[in-house]
Amino acid sequence: MLRSIKILLIASIGVWGLIGAFSNFTDWTGTTGAVGAVTSMSAIENGADSWRATANPGVVLAGALFIVTLKIIGGLLCLAGAWRMTAARAGDAAAFERAKTLALAGCGVLIFLLFAGWIVIAETWFELWRADVWRDIALQSAFRYCGMIGVIALFVGLRDDERGR
Per residue in 92-102, pLDDT (tens digit) is 889 999 999 99
pLDDT tier, 33 (very low <50, low <70, confident <90, very high otherwise): very high
Give the CA dihedral 162, 105, 112, 2, nearest 10 degrees.
-20
Confirm if 106 and 12 have CB atoms less than 8 A apart: no
- pLDDT value of residue 165: 52
DSSP string covering 46-88? TGGGSTT----HHHHHHHHHHHHHHHHHHHHHHHHHHHHHHHH
Answer yes or no: are the C-beta atoms of 41 and 59 closer than 8 Å: no
CB atoms within 10 A of CB 27: 12
At 48 the pLDDT is 85
Percent of the chain exceeding pLDDT 70 equals: 98
Show Cβ contacts of residue 3 under 8 Å, excluding neighbours closer than 6 positions.
85, 89, 96, 160, 164, 165
| 164 confidence band (pLDDT: 50, 70, 90) | low
- Helix (H) / strand (E) element for 150: namely helix 140-157
- pLDDT for residue 111 is more than 70: yes
Nearest-5° Cα angle at 85, 17 to 14: 5
For residue 137, pLDDT beyond 90: no
Q: Write the pLDDT tens digit of every residue in 142-158.
A: 889 999 999 999 999 99
Overall average pLDDT of the 106-110 stretch: 98
Mean pLDDT, range 14-25, rounded to an integer: 98
CB contact at 8 A, 80 and 110: no
Question: Over 90: is that where the pLDDT of 76 sits?
Answer: yes
Mean pLDDT for the stretch of residues 11-31: 97
